[in-house]
Amino acid sequence: MITPAPLQTTYIQYEPVGQLGTVATMANFNVDARIADDVAGTGIGFGIAVCQGGTHGDKSVAVGETSGSVFVGITLADPTLPNLSNLAGQFTDKYSDSDNCSVLTLGDVWVAPATAVAIGTQGYFNSVTGALGNSGISNAVAIAGSRWETHLPRPAGELVTFSGLAVLRLGIMS
């Protein structure tokens, strides 16, 4: 009998605490399937704010808030996307124009804030780049019903670090 070679022979001891654009908790969450609207051709990154797009119909989403479009959610990571950079060890981690993309509309998500954030405060996004942060971020637009669930930077003395990531909760009812 032929025994196939193992697919993996080494394993990390601990899983990372969080990864950019992944669901942070199993609390109630909702993910929509959308179509990436990236006419600029630069890609739509993981863990950023997207608003209603228009190029690909009602289900399209685009980076930032273009001409009065409405905030839809935050893009989730897709580990099945091909490595479009074609460079070993370097991944694009972006949706291309017309790709199906997952957008978190309710729940907790790991993101890389462009500013310091404090637990319990409202989330904001940059209306041009889709970057997330506090009210001091450039071109700030408030995300209704959002709240930061972790601090960044981490308070001194904490044993766990999140490698520049923080958790943003969408869908807080007031």
Q: Is residue 16 part of a domain?
A: no
Quick one: pLDDT band at residue 36, thresholds 50, 70, 90? very high
pLDDT of residue 67: 59
Decide if 52 contacts 72 (C-beta within 8 A). yes
pLDDT of residue 86: 56
Decide if 81 contacts 99 (C-beta within 8 A). yes
Q: Is residue 4 part of a domain?
A: no
pLDDT of residue 89: 53
User: Helix count (H) and strand count (E) of the chain?
Assistant: 0, 12
Q: Is residue 152 part of a domain?
A: yes
pLDDT of residue 151: 87
- For the record, the structure tokens of 100 come out as 């199906």
Mean of the per-residue pLDDT values of the chain: 86
Report angle CA 115, 87, 83 to the nearest 5 degrees: 70
Tell me the residue range of the domain where 47 lies.
30-170
Q: What is the CA radius of gyration of the chain?
A: 17
- 63-94 pLDDT per residue, tens: 978 756 899 999 999 988 876 555 555 557 89
Q: Is residue 13 part of a domain?
A: no
**93: domain CATH number?**
2.40.300
Is it the case that residue 148 has pLDDT exceeding 80? yes
Side-chain half-sphere CA neighbours of 47 within 13 A? 22
- 7-31 pLDDT per residue, tens: 778 877 766 678 899 999 988 999 9
Domain count within the chain = 1
Q: Is residue 41 part of a domain?
A: yes
Q: Is residue 131 part of a domain?
A: yes
State CA 64 to chain mean position distance.
13
- 41-60 pLDDT per residue, tens: 888 999 999 999 988 989 99
pLDDT of residue 51: 95
Is it the case that residue 157 has pLDDT exceeding 70? no
Q: Is residue 5 part of a domain?
A: no
Decide if 72 contacts 51 (C-beta within 8 A). yes
Q: Is residue 77 part of a domain?
A: yes
